[in-house]
Amino acid sequence: MTPCMARRTALRMLAGAAIAMAAVPTGSAFAADHWPSKPITLVVPFASGGTTDIIGRAVGQRLGEALGQPVVVDNRPGAGGTIGGALVARANPDGYTFLLATVAHTMAPGIYKTLPYDFQKDLEPIGMVALTPNVVLVNTSIPAKNVQELIAYIKANPGKVNYGSAGIGSTEHLSGELFRSATGTDISHVPYKGGAPMMTDLIAGQIQMAIETSPSANPHVKSGKVKALAVTSAKRSPAYPGVPTVAESGVPGYEVTTWYALMAPRGTPEPIRQRMSAELAKVLKQSDVQKRFDDQGVTAGDMTPPQLAAFIKTETTKWTKVAKDSGAKAE
């Protein structure tokens, strides 16, 4: 074989190899095409029985049905949701670990000196799951029928009214701090490891008030175990007929919305993120899911990943300022 012929043969072999390699899908594309091939873990960063857990299990079940693989809820409570957040941020971005993030994750930067991860940089948005107002609740022994009477009672009993939360840095915590600063009242924070144990103590009278999420509050308000004085949204909630907003109760500008969003570790393949986002949108449009949300004062989410990313940035700025103004810090 002449040198010229050998060179042409070598070039043909290289070209053939290049074509063969081009026909083989890349690792991420191959993974996305075969995803999911095993159960998916949904990390819920608060204790079982609370609102985050309730929403996570309801949506997780429907996502599992749509994807053909179980979505297994893994409760990782602690540190205002940041333990669960850090776990997912460090997880393998292979599409088998997701986080049900909450507004608490945008509150954390304002109250913790350091965090083991960066919520906006280490996680990628999939979609908004749900939004809900909080509810100003008091133990039935508190002689207040509205927010103004509650404020008067607190001022007449300085240092004797404690409010509970699902943990340091939780939405209940910052909602309480915002209430304290907006009303000039002396209330003390009692953190719990989740909304369920907090509610148990509120009913028992171990704490006197809480500003709890609507789904967790709803059954106890209906049963008469606690009293609902106001909702924290800009408008009244259909789930609480006759209950005014905090703002219209004489605390202008007070507004808190608790939200829940699906997030993935940074680096999760785009086709997987797109598929999960699309399936989530379909689940949230199911009539029975919407009815279940409506009954508990919850609004189904409707945001694209870019919209959610912008929303998270705005929320982080807002709650960092609230934490600074109120002086709220992780003990």
Q: Same domain for 127 and 271?
A: yes
Q: Same domain for 173 and 244?
A: yes
Instruction: Please tell me the number of Cα atoms within 13 Å of 199 on its side-chain side.
Output: 24
pLDDT of residue 326: 80
Residue at 43: amino acid letter: V
Residue 19 lies in a domain: no
Computed over its alpha carbons, how large is the radius of gyration of the chain? Answer: 24
Neighbouring C-beta atoms of residue 315, cutoff 10 Å: 17
Q: Same domain for 116 and 169?
A: no
Boundaries of domain holding 244: 133-249
Number of domains in the chain: 2
Using the 3D structure, point to which of 193, 227, 249 is the last residue of a domain: 249
pLDDT of residue 241: 86
pLDDT of residue 195: 85
Residue 89 lies in a domain: yes
Residue 230 lies in a domain: yes
Q: Same domain for 279 and 242?
A: no
Residue 202 lies in a domain: yes
Q: Same domain for 161 and 231?
A: yes
Q: 296 Cβ partners below 8 Å, 6+ apart?
A: 132, 214, 215, 218, 239
Domain containing 171 — which CATH number?
Answer: 3.40.190.10
Q: Same domain for 118 and 163?
A: no
pLDDT tens track, the chain, 331 positions: 565 555 555 546 555 544 445 444 555 555 667 899 999 999 999 888 888 998 999 999 999 999 999 999 999 998 889 999 999 999 999 999 999 999 999 999 999 999 999 999 999 999 999 999 999 999 999 999 999 999 999 999 999 999 999 888 888 999 999 999 999 999 999 999 888 899 999 999 999 999 999 988 999 999 999 999 999 999 999 899 899 999 999 999 999 999 999 999 999 999 999 999 999 999 999 999 999 898 888 999 999 999 999 999 999 999 999 888 888 887 6
Using the 3D structure, point to which of 215, 249, 283 is the last residue of a domain: 249
Q: Same domain for 43 and 112?
A: yes
Q: Same domain for 193 and 91?
A: no
Residue 8 lies in a domain: no
Domain containing 97 — which CATH number?
Answer: 3.40.190.150
CA–CA separation, 131 and 102 (whole Å): 10
Q: Same domain for 241 and 304?
A: no
Using the 3D structure, point to which of 201, 218, 249 is the last residue of a domain: 249
Q: Considering all CA atoms of the chain, what is the largest pairwise distance in Å, rounded to the nearest integer?
A: 104
Residue 172 lies in a domain: yes
Q: Same domain for 123 and 264?
A: yes
Q: Same domain for 181 and 106?
A: no
Q: Same domain for 305 and 165?
A: no
DSSP for 138-166, written as a single string: EETTS--SSHHHHHHHHHHSTT-EEEEES
